[in-house]
Structure 1
Amino acid sequence: MKRIIMLLLVPLILTGCWDKTEIEDRMFIYAIAVNKVEDKKSESDLKPFYEFQNQNLEVTFLVPNPSKIQGGESDVLEEITVSAQDLPEAVGMIRKKQNREPFFGHEKLLILGEKLLRDEESSKEVLDWIDRDPKKNRSAFVVATKDIKELIGVNPKLEKLLPSYITGILKNDTVVATMISVSLNEFLGNIKSSGMAMIPIIKRQKDEIAIKNVALIKDFKYLGELDDRYIRGYSIINNKLDEGKKLFNYKGNIVSYNITSSSAKIKLNEENGRLVFTVDVEMEGDIEDYLINEDILKSDIIRDLQDSISKQFEIELKEVVRHFQEDIGFDYLNLKSWTKKHKYNLFKKYEKNWDEAFRNAKFNFKVKSYIRRVGVIR
C-alpha cells in the first residue's frame, strides 16, 4: 500500500510549472486608463499595415517602480502610455518597451475617458475585450473622467500610489450616502443584462481627487450625468445604503440625521394597464444636533422628529423617481431586473416596452424613520 501511495505522489513531486513567471520578472499593472484620441483612420481600409494607421486609443498603464519603493521615494508610480488600435495591441506594445511581463491580477482601477465613452463603437470594443480577458481583476473599480492626463498628474499627500488613493476614496461609499462605487464585474454585468450602467466621475481639484456626479452609460455610450443629490435615494430604493447623513428642517432648525441602517421592500401591482410600485422603507439613525427650546429626550419630541424625517425622506424619494422617469427617461433604478425576478408575469407583459412602462409607472412611498440615539442635549 505504501508503494502505491509513493508512486501516486511521484508525479506531483516531479511536476513543475513550465510556463511560470518569476515575481521579479513581472510588471504589476495597478491601473489602466483608456481614452479615445482624434481619428487617424486611413481613407482606404485596404492599405497595408492597417494597425499602424488606426491608432485611435491612448492607453496608460500605471505601474509601481520596485526600485523607487525600496529607496523610500514618494513618487513611485510610473506611467507607460501607448497609442494603439485596441487594448490587445496596447498590451503588446508595452512588451516592446519593458523587459517585464505585464500582470493584471493586482489591478485596482479602470479609468475610462469621456471621449471613449461618447464613442459607442470604440467603447464597445474596449469593454468587450476586457470582459473576455480572463487575466483581468474583476473586483477592480471602474470610474469615468474627462481629463485622464490631468488626473494621473495628481500626487497624493498621504498615499504613494494614485490607484490606492482613488480606490480608498471609493470605498468610503459605505459611509457617504451621496457616492457610489462600481466594480468591473458589476459594471460589465449591468451592461450585458440591461444595456445600462452607472459609474462615478472623478476629477482633479488642485492636488486632490474629487468624486463628483455619476456617468450614465446606455448601450455602451455616455448618456449624461446624474447629480450627486439623487444618489442617496437611488441607494435607498436598491438597498445599497449602509450609512449616510441627511440634513432636514425641524421647526426652523437644520438637524443632521445620521443613518445607521436602511431597508426597502418593493411591492408591485398593475392598475388600469399601469405598473404601480409601492416602496416601504425603514431606517434607523442618530440625532447629534442641539435643538434650541426643545427637550429632545421627551418621547413626544422624538416621535415628532421621526415623523418629520419620514415625510422629508418621502419627498426626496419621490423627486428621485421623478428625475429618473421624466428627466432621464430610463430605468437606472434596476426595477426591470427586480420585476423579472419577483413578478415574472408582469415582466413578460411589459418587457418589450419597458422604458415606456417605467416612465408611466406610479410610485408610492411609505417611510418609517427611527431615532435610536441622541447626541448633544441640554
Structure 2
Amino acid sequence: MSRRKAFLAGFSAFALLALTGCWDRVEIDKRGFVVGVAIDKAKGGQNKDRSRSPGSLISGTFQFIVPAGLKSSSGSSGRDSNAGRSYFNIGVEESSVAALTAKTAARTSRSPYYEHLKLILISEDIARDDSKFSDALDFFLRGKEMRRDMHVLIAAGKAREILNVRPYNENYPVAYLESTIANTMKTNYMLKSSRLGDIHEHLLRDQSFTIQLVRKRGDGIALTGAALFDGTEHRLIGELNGETTQGLNFLTGQIKGGVIETAYKNTAITAELERAVRKIKLTGGDGRRMKFTIAVEAEGTMVKSVKNLDLNDPAVFRGIERQFEDEIRRVAGKTLQTLQHKYKKDVIGLNRFLYQNHYRAWKRVAPDWERGANLFAAADIEVTVRMNIRRIGDINESERG
C-alpha cells in the first residue's frame, strides 16, 4: 500500500472516531435546565398497572429555569405573569424517578437536562420508606449528568411545596434555598450542607447519618433542625430540633459561626462564635462499655453583656467564659441523651473514630455498636469544654447605671 493510501485510510479511521463523539449532541437552546427536583408520595397512591410496574406511585416536581427570564425578572418572584418568568415547575406521577423524567420530557418542549441540578428535595414520607429513598438517590447517583456535590434536603411535609415558596432576593426558589443552605456562618442551629456524595458514602458504610431538614414557613422556609437516618435500614427514623442540632454541631466540630446565649448574674449574655473544634479520645472500655472524652474548644466575641459589667476584670471575664462553657456542655449533653437513649444512633462519629484510630477495639464492638447489645447507647461519653472570649467588641460598655 502506498504512503498516500495509508495516510487516507488512517485519516478516515480517525475522522470516523471523531464524528462518533457528537452523535448524541443536543443544542443548548433545546435543553431544559432542571435546577431542582422534589420527590413526594403521589396523591394517586398505588399504581393501577401493577403487572408493568408494581408498587406505589411517587410524585416528582421539576423546577426548570428560563434563561431569558433571569435577566428580565430582576429578582421578582417569577410567578406574577408568564412574561419574564425566570422559572416554572412541572409535576408528574410515576413509579420511579427515571419514569418521572421520561414523563416530564413529554410535557415540555425542552428535554430535562441535569448538569445544572443544584438540589434534591425528598419528603419525609419518602425518606421513611427505605426502598423509595434508596431508589430516588440511586437515579441521581448513576446518572451521567449528575454531580456528587448537589445538595440533598429532607422536607417536613410536602417537598413540592418548598419549590413553590416565594424566592426572597432571588430569581427562583432553588436559588433562594441554595443561598440559605450556606448560612452556617451565621447560625449553628442548622447542619452543614448535605451533599449527595457524602450521603452515598454513609449508605455504603452502613453508618447512621443526618441530612439538612427544611420546613415551609409562610412564604419562605426554615432550615433549623436535622433529619436522622438509620445506617442499617437506610431510612428516616426521627428529627433533631434546633437546639439538639446545635449540640450535634459542637460534638462533630461543625460550628462555623452563629451565637451562643446564656445568663450571667440573671442577665442574658451572648457571644458570637468564630470557630469550635472537637477532639475525641478513647479513655477506657472492656469491649462492652466504651469510655470516651469529647473535648470541645470554642472561641468568639462578646456581642451582648451585662450592664455595668467590668469586662476588664479577669475574675468577671473568666466567670462569663465558664457560663458559656456550661451552656455548651448542656446542649451537647442534651444531644447525647437524645442520640443514645431515644434513637440509639451514632451520628457523632465515634464508630468512625474507633475504625480509624483503634481498629482492634472497633473489630470487637462493630457488630453490636448500633445493633444487638447497642454498645453506643451504653457508652460512657464525657464532654469537656473550653470557651475563649477573644474580643469584647468595639466598646467597653453601652451605658452607665
TM-score (normalised: structure 2): 0.85
- Given the alignment, which residue of 361, 385, 388 partners 1:346? 361
What is the match of residue 4 of structure 1? none
Whole-angstrom CA distance in 2 between matches of 1:296 and 1:151: 45
Match of 1:253 in 2: 267
Say if 2:203 is the partner of 1:198.
Answer: no
CA distance in 1, matches of 2:278, 2:177: 30
Give deviations 1:251-298, integer Å, cap 9, x for gaps.
112100111111111101333441001112211111122322321112
Distance 2:38 2:293 in 1: 41
> How far apart are residue 241 of structure 1 and its match?
1.2
Q: Which residue identity lines up with residue 243 of structure 2 in the other structure? A: R
Secondary structure, in 3 states, of the residue corresponding to 2:325?
helix
What are the Cα deviations for residues 118-173 of structure 1, in whole angstroms up to 9, with x where unaligned?
22222222222322223212111111121234322222231111101011111002
Task: Tell me the amino acid that sits aligned with residue 167 of structure 2.
Answer: P
Residues in 2 aligned to 1:240 and 1:176: alpha-carbon distance in whole angstroms: 11
Residue 86 of structure 1 is matched in structure 2 by: 96
**Is the contact between residue 40 and residue 158 of structure 2 (CA under 8 Å) also seen in structure 1?**
no
Match of 1:239 in 2: 253
Query: Which of 319, 336, 342 is matched with 2:334 structurally?
Result: 319
Instruction: State the Cα distance separating 1:338 from its structure 2 match.
Output: 1.7
Asked if the contact 1:290/1:377 (under 8 Å) is kept, the reply is no
Give yes or no for contact 2:73–2:171 (8 Å, CA) kept in 1: no
Which residue of the partner structure matches residue 148 of structure 1?
Answer: 159
Q: Which moved more, 1:259-268 or 1:233-242?
A: 233-242
* CA deviation after TM superposition for structure 1 residue 90, in Å: 1.3
Corresponding residue to 1:29 among 26, 34, 40: 34
Paired residues of 2:92 and 2:100 also in contact (CA < 8 A): yes
Matched, 1:166 2:177: yes
Amino acid at match of 1:121: S
Match of 2:303 among 282, 288, 308: 288
**Partner secondary structure for residue 333 of structure 1:** coil
Work out the number of aligned pairs and report it: 366
Q: Separation in 2 of the partners of 1:270 and 1:278?
A: 10
Counterpart of 1:113 in structure 2 is 123
Question: Where does structure 1 lack aligned partners over 5 or more consecutive residues?
Answer: 1-6
Label 1:197 to 1:133 Cα distance change in 2 as closer, same or farther (>3 A): farther
The equivalent of 2:186 in structure 1 is: 175
Q: CA deviation at 1:213?
A: 2.2
Residue in 2 that maps onto 1:59:
60
Cα distance between partner residues in 2 of 1:111 and 1:344: 37
Letter in 1 for 2:181: L
For residue 45 of structure 2, give the secondary structure of its aligned residue in structure 1.
coil
Q: Is the 8 A contact 2:163 2:174 kept in 1?
A: no
Question: How big is the shift at 1:11?
Answer: 5.8
Q: Which amino acid aligns with 2:221?
A: I
What runs of 5+ residues in structure 2 fail to find an aligned partner?
Answer: 1-9, 79-85
Q: Relative to 1, partners in 2 of residues 1:309 and 1:160: Cα closer, same or farther, differing over 3 Å?
A: same
- Give the drift of 1:28: 0.8
Shift of 1:350: 0.2
* 1:266–1:280 contact (8 Å) kept in structure 2: yes
Instruction: Report the residue type matching 1:211 in the other structure.
Output: L
- 1:212 aligns to what? 224
Q: Deviations over 1:328-378 (max 9, x none)?
A: 211122211121111111110000000211101001222111111002423
The aligned counterpart of 1:359 is 377
CA RMSD of aligned residues (A): 2.4
Letter in 1 for 2:347: Y
d(CA) in 2 for partners of 1:212 and 1:179? 5
Contact 2:253/2:276 (<8 A) preserved: yes
Q: Is the 8 A contact 2:47 2:95 kept in 1?
A: no
SS at match of 1:157: coil
Report percent identity of matched pairs: 21
1:39 aligned residue: 45
Counterpart position of 1:368:
386
> 237-246 vs 146-155, which deviates more?
146-155
Question: Post-superposition shift, 1:106?
Answer: 1.0
Offset of residue 190 of structure 1:
1.7
Distance 1:300 1:199, change over 3 A: same
Query: Among residues 142, 154, 175, which one is paired with 1:132 in the alignment?
Result: 142
What displacement does 1:55 show?
6.5
**Is the 1:54–1:84 Cα contact (8 Å) retained in structure 2?**
no
- 1:35-87 Cα deviation digits (max 9, x unpaired): 11253244x85x4xx14x86601111100123433544731211111111111
Other-structure match for 2:352: 337
